[in-house]
């Protein structure tokens, strides 16, 4: 019989470790919802984010907070470039969905290969000391990294929710997500909305990479593995339910971490693949929960009358 302390420890660790996974899942689900693209270029953005931070922190002794902010420049720039010069070009040519899929995969692998040539396949640590101070709270080991993750990840997701709900640009994204052609009739530039969506995804990826990079040994192929988790969470949460993807990411993480109580740790990655296989097999169009908009109350907000 497992003690309550062990169960609480597994639950706490699972939720903390799910922080960056939840943010990555939301970034992936947002692009899928608004732009209708399975954005498999996300590993490329994550790789650029990590190695930008790593170079700044390890080579030039830039404070971590400043490195995170500076890394937004190449990551967001790359995200906008992907949308403007790749995705938009494919749209203008009326390309099939498969073309977006193939381009995304090839581009991600190209960037991963380039990063491998530059930084090798060796695991890399962003910080010189990856050990985080710990304390015992109610019999549960809580590290400083856990506390930061529990604050940063929900803050990023909440900020996105508030942006979509309370700002005009957020309402434009909702309108485009619901019906892009109708949104243009009301004067909304859907191309700008797609670029804004990729910009937000880039910001979320930087935040998630900061959390992952200060916790894990990073190597160029790691973002590809994390992408599988994001896809599984997006489908399990229900395609189109952006914030449900975060909840699904936490549930998958808890299941994965709890499995260590019954199976060896080396089998844990199979759980994510197993969930992904099962969902694709039985729910090829995604799990259908109750139909919801990006934010509560969005159905009461028609496309704005004019874009400014």
Query: What is the DSSP pairing of strand 134-137 with strand 140-143?
Result: antiparallel
**Rounded Cα distance, 299 and 296, in Å:** 8
Nearest one of 283, 49, 13, 1 to 134, comparing CA atoms: 13
pLDDT of 1: 55
At 302 the pLDDT is: 46
Identify the pLDDT of residue 249: 93
Do residues 268 and 136 touch, judged by C-beta distance below 8 A?
no
289, 291, 295, 299: CA torsion to nearest 10: -170
pLDDT tens track, the chain, 308 positions: 567 778 888 899 999 999 999 999 999 999 999 999 999 999 999 999 999 999 999 999 999 999 999 999 999 999 999 999 999 999 999 999 999 999 999 999 999 999 999 999 999 999 988 888 999 988 899 999 999 999 999 999 999 999 999 999 999 999 999 999 999 999 999 999 999 999 999 999 999 999 999 999 999 999 999 998 999 899 989 888 999 999 999 998 888 877 766 766 666 667 777 877 887 777 766 666 554 445 544 443 444 444 33
Whether the pTM exceeds 0.75: the reply is: yes
Q: Which residue ranges form the domains of the chain, and what is each CATH number?
A: 4-300 (1.10.3470)
Burial 45-55 (b: 16+ CB within 10 A, else e): bbbbbbbbbbb
Calculated CA dihedral for residues 269, 49, 176, 162, nearest 10 degrees: 90
């Amino acid at each position: 019989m497992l003690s309550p302390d062990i169960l609480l420890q597994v639950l706490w660790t699972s939720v903390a470790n799910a922080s960056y996974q939840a943010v990555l899942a939301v970034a992936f689900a947002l692009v899928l919802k608004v732009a209708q693209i399975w954005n498999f270029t996300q590993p490329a953005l994550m790789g650029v984010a990590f190695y930008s931070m790593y170079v700044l922190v390890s080579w030039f002794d830039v404070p971590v907070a400043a490195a995170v902010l500076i890394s937004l420049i190449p990551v967001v720039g790359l995200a906008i470039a992907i949308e403007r010069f790749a995705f938009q070009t494919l749209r203008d040519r009326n390309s099939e969905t498969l073309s977006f899929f193939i381009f995304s995969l090839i581009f991600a692998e190209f960037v991963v290969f380039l990063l491998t040539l530059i930084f090798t396949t060796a695991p890399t640590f962003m910080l010189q000391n990856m050990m985080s101070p710990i304390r015992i709270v109610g019999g549960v080991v809580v590290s400083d990294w856990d506390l930061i993750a529990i604050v940063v990840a929900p803050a990023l997701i909440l900020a996105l929710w508030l942006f979509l709900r309370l700002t005009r640009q957020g309402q434009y994204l909702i309108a485009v997500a619901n019906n892009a052609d109708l949104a243009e009739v009301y004067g909304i530039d859907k191309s700008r909305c797609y670029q804004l969506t990729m910009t937000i995804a880039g910001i979320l990826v930087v935040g998630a990479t900061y959390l992952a990079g200060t916790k894990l040994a990073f190597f160029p192929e790691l973002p590809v593995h994390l992408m599988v988790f994001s896809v599984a969470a997006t489908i399990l949460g229900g395609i189109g339910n952006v914030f449900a993807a975060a909840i699904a990411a936490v549930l998958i993480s808890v299941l994965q971490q709890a499995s260590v109580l019954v199976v060896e740790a080396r089998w844990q990655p199979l759980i994510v693949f197993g969930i992904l296989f099962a969902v694709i097999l039985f729910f090829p169009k995604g799990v259908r929960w109750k139909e919801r908009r990006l934010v509560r109350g969005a159905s009461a907000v028609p496309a704005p009358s004019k874009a400014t």
